């Protein structure tokens, strides 16, 4: 292999690639990045066996070839170089690099031992603005379960069953709270035949790490993302970066049935003020349960937030609110509440409640139609 590329391009690619690299792995070659010339470009790949990333950059290819190089060292090294051209030349299982006044030789491992990242050749099911998927992932990711006891909820649920209504739904739950985001597919390209691969349920579960990586890769630009399926794999194709991942098998819980459709009370609060009050109250909440209580009363026009622990002390505060309906008091885990308020991502939040043992639904308040696409449900702590 022999080529020339810019420090800027190689550095950018290594920053994307490097995140997938495992630490302390039992398979040392997974610490390496595969570099390979391909059709006049340089392809960089890394994998942790659950997912793999390929990234292509432009360059002047003088001689074809492939090699693997320790990712962390390579990434730190390239990151430190000046923004100039880098001449790269493979000599046996080493890479010789020359950039400005720097002359370097890095020892690698044979490309033959690098695990194959599967290729998926199929038409995309959906081609959609990257930004829409990124936004949705950021909203649902905090609710994905971290416990391995129920593997089917350790990923993001992608529901394609409403494509005919131009809707793609992303959801996540850890059984204490649920986040659901509906994405409007108007303007997206949809290939309904591709859906046959998903069978009757027309949905799939993307592992948490993959979803997290995808949300980072999708930049804030106006680029398009193609979602391509094979039997147990998914390919997210963003042009010069491809993310390929296994899918989680199993049946995602039918969460729709736990979302209440009627509510006895509704309180609308300023998101920022409400979060501040909950964070202060959380200092006085029990360390085991993380419980804070909310009391909404139409007459007082406030939501009262309270927490108390014997040894520490107690706190109460009031936040101005527009309240409709019955008086209600509910106890929550303050972490779930703050996560939810962040995910709602609106200046004013509506809390829709029934009683102290029923789930509460958070969503953006007000009439903006575009903001009605996200809901966050929290189970209360029963008194």
Interaction site with a second copy (CB under 8 A): 70, 73, 76-77, 80-82, 94, 100-107, 276-277, 279-280, 283-284, 302, 311-319
CB of 206 to a second copy, least distance (A): 35
CB atoms within 10 A of CB 222: 8
Q: Which is nearer to a second copy, 259 or 283 (CB)?
A: 283
Q: Which is nearer to a second copy, 233 or 316 (CB)?
A: 316
CB of 320 to a second copy, least distance (A): 9
CB of 59 to a second copy, least distance (A): 21
How many whole angstroms separate alpha carbon 46 and alpha carbon 85? 23
CB of 325 to a second copy, least distance (A): 22
Q: Which is nearer to a second copy, 94 or 209 (CB)?
A: 94
Burial, 147: exposed, middle or buried (Cβ in 10 Å; 0-12, 13-18, 19+)?
A: exposed
Sign of the CA dihedral with 255 first, then 256, 262, and 268 last: positive
By C-alpha distance, which of 106, 99, 65 is closest to 83? 99
Q: Which is nearer to a second copy, 58 or 100 (CB)?
A: 100
Sign of the CA dihedral with 301 first, then 355, 285, and 309 last: positive
Q: Which is nearer to a second copy, 77 or 114 (CB)?
A: 77
- Cβ atoms of 118 and 126 within 8 Å: the answer is no
Phi, psi at 353, each rounded to 5°: -130, 160
CB of 299 to a second copy, least distance (A): 17
- Cβ atoms of 130 and 238 within 8 Å: the answer is yes
CB of 194 to a second copy, least distance (A): 45
Q: Which is nearer to a second copy, 314 or 372 (CB)?
A: 314
- Cβ neighbours of residue 149 under 8 Å, at least 6 residues apart? none
Reduced to 3 states (helix: H, G, I; strand: E, B; else coil), residue 328 is: strand
């Amino acid at each position: 292999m022999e080529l020339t590329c810019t420090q800027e391009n190689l550095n950018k690619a290594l920053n994307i690639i490097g995140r997938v690299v495992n630490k302390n792995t039992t398979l040392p070659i997974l610490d390496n990045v595969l570099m390979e010339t391909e059709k006049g470009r340089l392809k960089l790949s890394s994998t942790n066996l659950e997912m793999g990333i390929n990234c292509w950059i432009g360059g002047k290819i003088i001689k074809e070839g492939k090699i693997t190089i320790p990712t962390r060292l390579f990434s730190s090294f390239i990151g430190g170089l000046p923004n100039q051209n880098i001449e790269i030349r493979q000599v046996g299982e080493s890479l010789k690099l020359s950039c400005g006044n720097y002359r370097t030789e890095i020892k690698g491992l044979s490309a033959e031992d690098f695990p194959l990242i599967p290729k998926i050749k199929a038409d995309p099911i959906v081609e959609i603005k990257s930004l829409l998927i990124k936004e949705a992932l950021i909203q649902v990711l905090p609710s994905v379960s971290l416990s391995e006891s129920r593997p089917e909820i350790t990923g993001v649920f992608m529901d394609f069953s409403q494509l005919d209504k131009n809707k793609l739904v992303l959801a996540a739950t850890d059984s204490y709270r649920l986040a659901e985001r509906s994405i409007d597919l108007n303007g997206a390209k949809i290939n309904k035949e591709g859906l046959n691969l998903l069978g009757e349920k027309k949905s799939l579960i993307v592992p948490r790490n993959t979803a997290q990586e995808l949300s980072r890769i999708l930049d804030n630009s106006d680029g398009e993302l193609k979602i391509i399926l094979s039997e147990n794999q998914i390919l997210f194709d963003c042009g010069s970066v491809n993310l390929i991942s296994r899918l989680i098998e199993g049946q995602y819980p039918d969460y729709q049935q736990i979302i209440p459709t009627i509510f006895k009370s509704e309180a609308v609060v300023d998101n920022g003020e409400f979060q501040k009050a909950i964070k202060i109250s959380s200092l006085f909440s029990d360390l085991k349960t993380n419980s804070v209580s909310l009391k909404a009363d139409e007459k007082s026009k406030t939501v009262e937030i309270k927490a108390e622990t014997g040894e520490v002390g107690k706190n109460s505060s009031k936040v101005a609110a527009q309240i409709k309906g019955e008086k209600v008091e509910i106890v929550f885990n303050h972490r779930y509440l703050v996560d939810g308020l962040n995910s709602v991502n609106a200046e004013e939040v509506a809390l829709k409640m029934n009683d102290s043992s029923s789930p509460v639904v958070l969503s953006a308040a007000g009439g903006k139609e575009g903001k009605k696409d996200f809901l966050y449900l929290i189970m209360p702590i029963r008194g």
